[in-house]
Amino acid sequence: MSAELTPEQLAELREALQRRFDELWAEIREEAAARREETFSRLASEAPDIEDQSVADQLVDLELTTIDRQVEEVREIQAAWFRMKEGIYGECIDCHAPIGYERLKAFPTAQRCLTCQDIYEKTHAEPPHPSL
Ligand SMILES: [Zn+2]
């Protein structure tokens, strides 16, 4: 269950996710307008449903590297959204401890508690690019 989170806190975080989702689509739409890319424009012409997981995949298929960050975030938001639906939102995916409301408020898409995030970042850090 969503340990430690009250229904009010959950509702607030749920709203934050939806808001960020809409914001991202606004950004993606701007990008589409700037590019005048037909497929892309059509795809991004209206905000999709937060539960439509195919949209991020479709954007990735277009290989538009400039929106990689947004697409990545759309995925994270959708993942958080579905964790919420399953009632496991707010629980660390590694140690299953509650992530905590304060951290979720700052990062509604957080999947790990601070301790596990720290470990994760240390073990999955990108190797520094060699400078020749
Ligand atoms: Zn943890």
pLDDT-derived band at 2, boundaries 50, 70, 90: very low
Report the separation in Å between the CA atom of 54 and the middle of ligand 1, taken as the mean of its atom positions: 29
Paired tokens of 126: 């990108």
Q: What is the pLDDT of residues 19-72, one digit of tens each?
A: 999 999 888 878 777 776 665 666 656 667 888 877 777 666 665 656 778 888
10 Å CB burial of residue 69 (0-12, 13-18, 19+) is exposed
Residues written for the chain: 132
Q: What is the pLDDT of residues 76-120, one digit of tens each?
A: 999 999 999 999 999 999 999 999 999 999 999 999 999 999 999
Ligand 1 is an ion; residues with CB less than 5 A from it: 92, 94-95, 113, 116
Place of tokens 């960020």: 20
Query: What pLDDT, on the 0 to 100 scale, is given for residue 14?
Result: 97
Spatial distance between the Cα atoms of 3 and 103, rounded to a whole number of angstroms? 13
- The type of residue at 128 is P
Query: What pLDDT, on the 0 to 100 scale, is given for residue 19?
Result: 96
Report the separation in Å between the CA atom of 55 and the middle of ligand 1, taken as the mean of its atom positions: 30
Domain locations in the chain? 7-123
Query: What pLDDT, on the 0 to 100 scale, is given for residue 80?
Result: 96
Instruction: Return the closest-CA partner of residue 33 out of 17, 47, 45.
Output: 45
- The type of residue at 47 is A
Total-model pTM: 0.76
Report the separation in Å between the CA atom of 99 and the middle of ligand 1, taken as the mean of its atom positions: 7
Instruction: Return the closest-CA partner of residue 110 out of 130, 129, 83, 131.
Output: 83
- The type of residue at 80 is A
Report the separation in Å between the CA atom of 122 and the middle of ligand 1, taken as the mean of its atom positions: 14
Query: What pLDDT, on the 0 to 100 scale, is given for residue 1?
Result: 44
Paired tokens of 73: 């975030």
Query: What pLDDT, on the 0 to 100 scale, is given for residue 68?
Result: 77
Report the separation in Å between the CA atom of 93 and the middle of ligand 1, taken as the mean of its atom positions: 7
Report the separation in Å between the CA atom of 111 and the middle of ligand 1, taken as the mean of its atom positions: 9
Count of beta carbons in the 10 Å neighbourhood of residue 85: 11
The CATH number of 7-123 is 1.20.120.910
